[in-house]
Amino acid sequence: MKLIVGLGNPGDRYQATRHNAGFWLVERFAADTRTGLRKDAKFQALVGRHEASGAWLMLPQSHMNLSGRPVQMLASFFRIAPADILVAHDELDFAPGVAKIKQGGSAAGHNGLKDISARLGSHDYWRLRIGIGHPGDRDAVTDFVLHKPSQEDRAAIDAAIGRALEVLPQMLAGDLQGAMLKLHTQGPAESAAAERPVKPEKPERPAKTAKAMDKPAKPGKEGLFGSLLKKFLPDTDPKRKK
């Protein structure tokens, strides 16, 4: 990989929205590797170079549906082929917590991918798809992606990004199949189970013994009528006879 692109919308208004999942991944990778991202007016993007691999990192600042122009300009300037480009983006078809890698294919309605494919004249670039879930209604998609995920969904998305970042060095080194195998075989359920602390089991209550169950009940109050009978009737209890 010679160019890693994170897709999203610029500005504080969109920073925490689902549509910016691609931004989140590249921003975390840049922070982890201490790669500075600086605004480049020529490319209309935040751009930095990963020192260890020499790959370029890019966050287009032209809004999602115009992401293709910055990508095409930088790729053309540095003569980077589509097959050497990785685009990280949000994926409606995957649940939060899922991340997968693939090469080529259609844009599946994603405006950022549509523009990149049109500008590059190719679908052969790689995609790192980060699941954000689906609202269940096509008409609600725009509103859904432009709003913040729930706290639970954001945690799942961040966990998926973390697993993707673990295999990114393999991709940069050219081991794409190895990276795919590692990422795709470690699903969200396995990771969650590995990270979830084990709760100590509560001790079971001891079963009641026959002796405890046969314990006689406490005598109740005799009442006025019982007291009078006891007073005037003869005592028939043999134990009390002398």
The set of catalytic residues is 19
Q: Per DSSP, what are the bridge partners of residue 38? A: 47
Q: Per DSSP, what are the bridge partners of residue 48? A: 57
Sign of CA dihedral 106, 27, 179, 160: negative
Residue 132 to residue 145: CA distance in whole angstroms: 8
Taking alpha carbons only, the member of 206, 160, 212 closest to residue 186 is 160
Residue 67 to residue 59: CA distance in whole angstroms: 9
Q: Is 193 exposed, middle or buried (0-12, 13-18, 19+ CB in 10 A)?
A: exposed
